[in-house]
Amino acid sequence: MRSGAFSARVTEGAIGAVTCGGVEVLRGLTCPVRNADWGTYLTETVSEQLDTARYARRFTDSDKTFDGALDVKLDEVSPGAGRLVAEVSFTFRRAARVNRVGFTLLHPLRGVVGQPLTLRHPGGGISEAAFPSRVSPAQPALDIAGLAHVVQGVAVEIAMEGEVFEMEDQRNWSDASFKTYCRPLSLPFPYGVAAGETVRQRIVLTVRQTGEETGRKPDAPAAPRSVRMPQVMLAHESGLSDRAALAAFPGVPVLLRLTPDTPQAELESLAARPGTALEIVFEDLPGLQSLIARARMAGLMPLRVTALPRLWLKSHQPSGPWPEGPRPEAALPLLRAGFPGRPVGGGSLTNFTELNRARPDPETVDFVTFGNTALVHAADDLSVWQTLEALPDIFRTAQDIAGGKPLHLGLLSIGMRSNPYGDGVAANPQRLRLPMAQDDPRQGTGFAAAYAVAVLAGAAVAGVESLALAMPDGPLGATGPLADVVRTAAALAGQEVQIARTGGVVVVDAGGSGLAANCTGSVANVDGLPPLIPESATIWDAPAPERQDTA
């Protein structure tokens, strides 16, 4: 869709890349319906019409719970100024329990992070706020009926009708955006929608070039950074991966998730394998003591250890309420007594979100930990690549939380290991690109390998000391090209490397060996290497490239 200097892209029923004069002013405009587990209803298009400046879609969900209609109009009202009007309606064929129905707006990070924000509230009041610089654990803006800000010289105003909106910092989940959504999380959820009920909403976006700064400057090639490579590990958990598959990765350290269901044979086997760290999930403090005793009985003295009560694998708002039973800090003296002299950590065994919302006292722990999945909210290729844009802010915020203590991270993967926001991961029997799915079709491809190299490079630049990039097998396994990335990266642990990043191409140069990732949709050229095919990783054991160019 285009009208003069104002444009938007339509992809699979969603509006994205809304730009004015080449400046991205809105990253996405969608209208999802989220179920009681925060899964997204899959929709099917009934009819669709796309013209130069109008898009109309009629749709239903795959279970025939509701019928929907989306209409979007785009218009340049004067040179350098435009207006987008979006209207959506949902009519429910039968009653449903949902967590969210309606518009979601994604604001980009570039030109937005740290910038002032004006809010209009439903009662007509005006207040001043800002897009946070560090990742905010709580909503940075509440009770929204409209907002205004400036992005790289483009004034943006957005009015919302039909519901009260609020904003969250989606960098918590590695989404490269701030999200304005409805309805407020302070209201009960899930909530009921009656059969025959219709939900209607309207969004009006107006933009105007101010003349102060126009157009988006291309990314300049970043100077290579000399950094120390983290320790790359394989995460392992009985039921998700097979201990026998570790044999294909000799010398690669293991991050074992120890639970009451872990067979004792697993502990005995890993005790004989050098380099095992522990993540312990326990029910109560006597249960934690039992798990520690089992590890000691097997002869397993971990590289380092952290422990979390099982109920803390779920997500909670920064203000609580918190789970009943022991708090995470109650585990620390037991861990220190059970594994004397070994580093004891704190944090999250799920996503950065949970670390940010329940921060450990850095004075009481030796390191801080968290994991990540790339498809909590969106699973299309572009959204997954865009998570790489959010990782530097996550790492910086985590360093602030750690207060100078090292970051030893858990599993950073595309697929979701466990769901802190519902009863389980999304079922994906057709192996689609599906939010909150564990079994992702890209896992065994060059896509996952390139993504892992880029994650590793970002972690190395941030000073992360260890992380897991995959499991040995299973839905989150190091299969296909990712297996070679894990082996190569693990062998580089502790070495000084040069990391260069330009336009979606990442090079990790260890002198006589290294890794490169092309996270773009085009062939890329790096001196000294064969052309990098799109969405792929390359490993070399030869003279390193001197210079990086992309094409």
213: confidence class by pLDDT, cuts 50, 70, 90: low
What's the pLDDT score for residue 17?
A: 95
Residues contacting 413, CB < 8 A, separation 6+: 371, 372, 373, 374, 469, 470, 476
Is 215 within a domain? no
Cis peptide, bond prior to residue 190, ω within 30 of zero = yes
Is this prediction's pTM over 0.85?
Answer: yes
Burial of 432 from C-beta contacts in 10 A (0-12 / 13-18 / 19+): middle
Helix or strand run (H / E) with residue 400: helix 381-402
What's the pLDDT score for residue 220?
A: 60
Domain co-membership, 230 together with 192: no
Q: CB neighbours (10 Å) of residue 216?
A: 15
Residue 346 has pLDDT above 60, yes or no: yes
Is 549 within a domain? no
547: confidence class by pLDDT, cuts 50, 70, 90: very low
What's the pLDDT score for residue 551?
A: 30
Is 319 within a domain? yes
Domain co-membership, 377 together with 522: yes
Domain co-membership, 205 together with 245: no
Residue 214 has pLDDT above 50, yes or no: no
What's the pLDDT score for residue 527?
A: 86
Domain co-membership, 164 together with 271: no
Q: How is residue 196 written in tokens?
A: 């025959």
Residue 221 has pLDDT above 70, yes or no: no
549: confidence class by pLDDT, cuts 50, 70, 90: very low
What's the pLDDT score for residue 550?
A: 36
Query: Order of strands, edge to edge, in the sheet holding 96-101?
Result: 33-35, 96-101, 191-193
Per-residue pLDDT averaged across 507-512, rounded?
A: 93
Q: How is residue 192 written in tokens?
A: 């009921």
Per-residue pLDDT averaged across 391-412, rounded?
A: 99
Burial of 299 from C-beta contacts in 10 A (0-12 / 13-18 / 19+): exposed
Residue 300 has pLDDT above 80, yes or no: yes
Using DSSP's 3-state secondary structure scheme, residue 268 falls into helix
446-461 vs 481-491: helix crossing angle, rounded to 10: 30
Which of 209, 239, 268 is where one domain is finished?
Answer: 209
Instruction: Compute the radius of gyration of the chain from its Cα atoms.
Output: 24
Query: Among 469, 415, 411, 473, which residue's Cα sits nearest to residue 442?
Result: 415
Domain co-membership, 203 together with 296: no
- Domains in the chain: how many in total? 2
Residue 542 has pLDDT above 90, yes or no: no
512: confidence class by pLDDT, cuts 50, 70, 90: confident
Domain co-membership, 258 together with 140: no
Is 308 within a domain? yes
Average per-residue pLDDT for the chain: 95
Is 408 within a domain? yes
Which of 187, 209, 231 is where one domain is finished?
Answer: 209
Helices and strands of the chain, counted as H and E runs? 7, 33
Q: CB neighbours (10 Å) of residue 324?
A: 7
Per-residue pLDDT averaged across 274-302, rounded?
A: 98
Domain co-membership, 234 together with 191: no
SS3 per residue for 282-312: ECCHHHHHHHHHHHHHCCCCCCCEEEEEHHH
433: confidence class by pLDDT, cuts 50, 70, 90: very high
What's the pLDDT score for residue 37?
A: 86
Domain co-membership, 310 together with 187: no
Is 154 within a domain? yes
Domain co-membership, 466 together with 321: yes
Q: What's 63's domain CATH number?
A: 2.70.98.10
Per-residue pLDDT averaged across 202-214, rounded?
A: 86
Q: What is the pLDDT of residues 460-476, one digit of tens each?
A: 999 999 999 999 999 99
Is 474 within a domain? yes
**CA–CA dist 328, 308 (Å, integer):** 5
Which of 183, 209, 235 is where one domain is finished?
Answer: 209
Question: Which residue range forms the structural domain that includes residue 506?
Answer: 222-541
Domain co-membership, 231 together with 312: yes
23: confidence class by pLDDT, cuts 50, 70, 90: very high
What's the pLDDT score for residue 528?
A: 84
List, in sequence order, every residue forming a beta bridge with 105; answer none if it has no partner.
29, 180
171: confidence class by pLDDT, cuts 50, 70, 90: very high
Domain co-membership, 180 together with 226: no
Using DSSP's 3-state secondary structure scheme, residue 531 falls into coil
CA-based angle 124:125:127, to the nearest 5?
140
Q: What is the pLDDT of residues 405-420, one digit of tens each?
A: 999 999 999 999 999 9
Q: What's 414's domain CATH number?
A: 3.20.20
What's the pLDDT score for residue 548?
A: 42
What's the pLDDT score for residue 200?
A: 98
Residue 355 has pLDDT above 70, yes or no: yes
Amino acid at 434: L
Q: How is residue 120 written in tokens?
A: 């209009």
Per-residue pLDDT averaged across 433-453, rounded?
A: 97
Q: What percent of the chain has pLDDT over 70?
A: 96
